[in-house]
Structure 1
């Protein structure tokens, strides 16, 4: 007999973690007085979030839309000169500061952790500036100590949550046995996954760093649990203006080494909160640009917003014409009917086909007519996975002759 073919496990990508939705949120997380609310105000280009030099200044979370700068969108607008323009955005949530013991309810711990549970990605705001006028919850500035505290609290909360899930799950063993072999098998598979997750967390590791450990079945359960350490992260390092402009800071090397070891692949974005706030308070873009040129720097906000957007595995497709150019936001992996449903539920129900141009082809050839003439205008069916930057025209049928 020929040898049995080796069954290859499906490759699990980090984008598979998380809920399937386009209304995803990124939470600003950090110790008290590291600059979360100042960053929030700058991202939202408003001053809705209270700032003050006191611990737990932010109690109730507030959220805003931070609009994504996109050269593709700008090019489509320049081509069509539409009556309406609608950019993509990411929803940013300002969350209360955390202290050690939060997983046991210390400070505003329980509220803090529940607010993190409701977001899909985390922007860790790290204080890398010393200022005697701005108090620190631990008295001294040490961003690596702070991030270790936060990550430890998130893991401890996840461990507590999972142990509670296991206890509840075991009570259903008898019911699973009496239903059917299939029910019992699923019950056993979930218990195995739960034990595997707890062992991983108790070893001091975050769920998001175990993508070579989790099977597709594990991922199905993980996405139901919504664990804090499963959420993708980025690291915003708040420095003083002098350090930001000279691109040097005594804490950066330690932060870089920590992220490389504990959150590999995550973005580190240095910025100066007070400087970015000053820029936003200027009346004109020309005034802002002049200041940036004088200081020989660029604003960190566009990179921060774009990173937050892609971190939670969002992509854009576009609809474009003289009436409107719009960036539609979907989760990576959406099929054409799901993408159509983002525009209107009827589009998904009555989906016939998607007429698709890649943005790169459209820009290279210059017009829809040229794309068609070049044979690069495609008709795609219901199994087509929409790609970032697709320009799409949907055809659908409502039925009853409509």
Structure 2
């Protein structure tokens, strides 16, 4: 008999369940974080400077999400108002060795990482005598180990504190349902602590839904998805070669299997960002025979956060809304307006792919591709939705 197919259980995402998620740019001091922040957000916030702690309070900006579907819908409807999707990004102060024990801006830095939902980790692979390295020389594997260790040490501290609090409560004993729940929670927290003490990140274990309910309120640093951004010189980025790249790939495979690695030249992105005339950027990229890494960086982070989009369309406005994949229709309606979630009745839905294939709404209706869905409908990436909701009370 052929072996039975194993049905793989869907991994529940760690982290906050909401739709308004944020990413933070993280790395050692002077690896190019603030310059990347300026390039990716096309703004002058952030403080790129050649000394540690140039950024103290995290800066926040919204990054436009590149999406051909949104562009097509705008061309199709020619609306008066256009609102693309965006991703909130924070520029967080540079980390130093010993941050977990408060060195440098350690505690503030780590609390800022706790407040974001995912991490862009910038790893320096460029040599530049003008830009000092806090550890003395360029060694990305050492840098990766420092950050990995500092985040894990801080998580151990959080988890030990949580465990201590739980033990105080379970020492009372008893057979109540509340006590049973506390004991289960205590066992989960002990398991998390054991995992961290083995030198592993929380996001790399397959936790059960019950365990995830315990993990998420702890806001652990190593539970957040990570996208590694390898900051190369302009020359190395164009030729896609650097002596450190294979070692970084090996390190990620060993310590963070499956996490995306994206080569980027922050120097090139910053230079492109200085062009003011339309078309200059494209012209320069064509001359260099390369392309900007920024669209890939933004889209990869959306994937890491398991974010998708739905659209509201018409001649008045085309708007792209961001939701976590797996969101049901009332919660998606709540992203448009909080009252819509409470008063949701139903939604009229068809998908962007259907509209593009058939050419216009009339054809979509004629082919019976417009659906009416209720509260249990899970919104799919690319859905075009009309929400029907009742009047809000009081």
Same fold (TM over 0.5): yes
The worse-fitting range, judged by mean Cα deviation, of 39-48 and 367-376 is: 367-376
Deviation of the 1:181 alpha carbon: 2.3
CA distance in 1, matches of 2:171, 2:124: 51
Aligned to 2:182: 187
Q: Could you say which residue in structure 2 is the equivalent of 1:3?
A: none
Q: Secondary structure at the match of 2:318?
A: strand
Residue segments in structure 1 that go unaligned for 5+ positions in a row:
1-7
Q: Distance in 1 between matches of 2:138 and 2:390?
A: 61
Query: Who is 1:310 aligned against?
Result: 303
- Show the 5 A alignment for 1:72-83: 72-83=69-80
Matches within 5 A, 1:316-395: 316-395=309-388
Q: Contact 2:61–2:90 (CA<8 Å) still a contact in 1?
A: yes
User: What do the CA deviations read for 1:101-136 (whole angstroms, capped 9, x no partner)?
Assistant: 111101111011000000000000010011111100
Q: Secondary structure at the match of 1:318?
A: strand
The aligned counterpart of 1:93 is 90
The one of 258, 272, 282 aligned to 1:279: 272
State the Cα deviation string for residues 280-317 of structure 1 (Å, max 9, x = none).
Answer: 11012311111000000000111111112222122110
Give the aligned CA root-mean-square deviation in angstroms.
1.6
1:129 is the counterpart of 2:122? no
- Cα gap change, 1:176/1:387 in structure 2, threshold over 3 Å: closer, same or farther? farther
SS at match of 2:279: helix
68 and 399 in structure 1: CA distance in 2 versus 1, 3 angstrom threshold: closer
Instruction: Confirm or deny that 1:110 pairs with 2:110.
Output: no
In structure 2, C-alpha distance between the alignment counterparts of 1:255 and 1:137, rounded to whole Å: 19
Aligned residue-pair number: 389
8 Å Cα contact 2:230-2:263 kept in structure 1: yes
Asked whether the equivalents of residues 344 and 389 of structure 2 are also in contact (C-alpha less than 8 Å), the reply is yes
1:237-248 paired onto structure 2 within 5 Å: 237-248=230-241
Are 2:161 and 1:164 equivalent residues in the alignment? yes
Q: Where does structure 1 differ by over 6 angstroms across 4 or more consecutive aligned residues?
A: none
Deviation readout 1:68-92 (Å, 9 max, x if unpaired): 0000101110110000000111111
2: distance between equivalents of 1:76 and 1:339?
Answer: 20
> Following the alignment from structure 2 to structure 1, what is the Cα–Cα distance between the partners of residues 197 and 289?
46
Unaligned runs of 5+ in 2: 1-5
Cα 1:175–1:383, aligned 2, differ >3 Å: closer, same or farther?
farther
Quote how far apart the aligned CAs of 1:11 are: 2.3
* Equivalence for 2:9: 11
Where 1:54 maps in the other structure, the secondary structure is coil
